Chain A
Amino acid sequence: MSREPAGWDVDSPVQAEVFVVWHDGNRLQLTGPDGPQPWILQLGMTEHPVEVVDRIVRDVIGPPILVHSTSWRRDRDAVILSFVVVIDRLLVGEMASVPIARAELARSEATVAPREIATNAVVEHGLRHLAWLAKDDPVVAAELPRGWLPLLAEYVPEPFRNLG
């Protein structure tokens, strides 16, 4: 006899969505413990989101180079905080990766959030945010591995923002 459950998923009212990014020498790649799909983390009511993302990434993958929240939106019956996490290429190991392609942003109307926000639009905004930090924050500029700055220069810098 075999029994399968109806479903199993993170369900906290605030969740982190982690995009693990690395530079392969030519381009940026998206990866994670389950491959390039968004990596969802439960966030407890008293937990600091950045601390949780740093701790879980450190435990599962290894020490991150940068951890930055880049946007938020309403989705999955929760508030989703999106994070871009930069890791060294040596930490990628057997994790599946895909090259990050450019994408259109999901733009809001004047007072209404976008109706649909694709994952690649969240990643696009995350990298634009990182491009902004690379110009505005000397710590980020110093920490980014060699080869990142020329690639980020191709992105239109944007600050943290609400995607929906």
Chain B
Amino acid sequence: MSDKSTFTNRCACGWEVSGSEDEVVDATIEHGRRIHNMEATREQVVAALHAPASGNSADEARRAG
């Protein structure tokens, strides 16, 4: 069965993206690099996407964007 999960990432600046994991990761890396001078790796973005919504585990991954 294919994974049809939809992910959303929201930057503190108000920018938001939704889509597949790959789409969200690519868009987040591009947003962080272009708008905030942030170099985030795919692993860091994936870790933040999979972090609990109400927890602080996103801080374990490098925050960006």
* A residues neighboring B (CB under 8 Å): 1-11, 33-35, 37, 39-44, 47, 52, 55-56, 59-60
Contacts and interface: CB of A to CB of B under 8 A. Distances in A.
A3 B53 CA distance: 8
A42 B64 contact: yes
Contacts of B32: 42
Contact of A41 (B37, B59, B62): B37
A3 B64 contact: no
Interface of B: 4-15, 18, 28, 32, 34-39, 48-59, 62-65
A7 B58 contact: yes
Q: Nearest 9 CB-CB pairs, A to B? A: A9-B12, A6-B58, A11-B63, A42-B38, A1-B5, A34-B13, A4-B8, A5-B48, A2-B6
A10 B58 contact: no
Contacts of A59: 34
